[in-house]
Amino acid sequence: MVNWLNRFARAISAYEVGNAELDDPEQFEYAIQQGRAIFTHNARDFEPLIGRYFAQAREHFGLIISEQLPVGVLLRRLLRLFDSVSADEMKNNFRNLGEFK
């Protein structure tokens, strides 16, 4: 999925860069340092984390959340997101892929 997404965005996976063992706050900090939004299925942990960033007025490059879906459905929704939301609009924001059915 990551290789296919690279046609449309600068996608990397935590496994690809050796970060699979990092906890959620560390994953988010890594994404920020790289100037990237983060995509996750882990709303339970990331929604409170992004809430803390909002409360502290800390900048980030966005959070994209989705329920577990078949890969084809995820890719279609991600393309719709990429077509309708700019990187500037994602900054300090979060989106649920459910918005892009």
The pLDDT, as a whole number, for residue 15 is 92
- Domain with 90, as residue range(s), is 2-100
Closest CA to 28 of 41, 46, 7: 46
**65-86 pLDDT tens trace:** 999 999 999 999 999 999 999 9
Q: Which two tokens stand for residue 70?
A: 């078949």
Query: What is the tally of structural domains in the chain?
Result: 1
The string over 44-79, giving b where at least 16 C-beta atoms fall within 10 Å of a residue's C-beta and e elsewhere, is eebeebbeebeeeeeebbbbbbbeeeeeeebeebbe
Q: Is the pLDDT of residue 9 over 70?
A: no
Q: Give residue for tokens 């890719």.
A: 75
Query: Can you tell me the distance from the alpha carbon of 62 to that of 20, in angstroms, rounded to the nearest whole number?
Result: 19
Instruction: With a cut of 90, say whether residue 44 has pLDDT above it.
Output: yes
**What pTM did the predictor assign?**
0.87
Asked whether the predicted pLDDT for residue 23 surpasses 70, the reply is: yes
Which pLDDT does position 60 carry in this prediction? 96
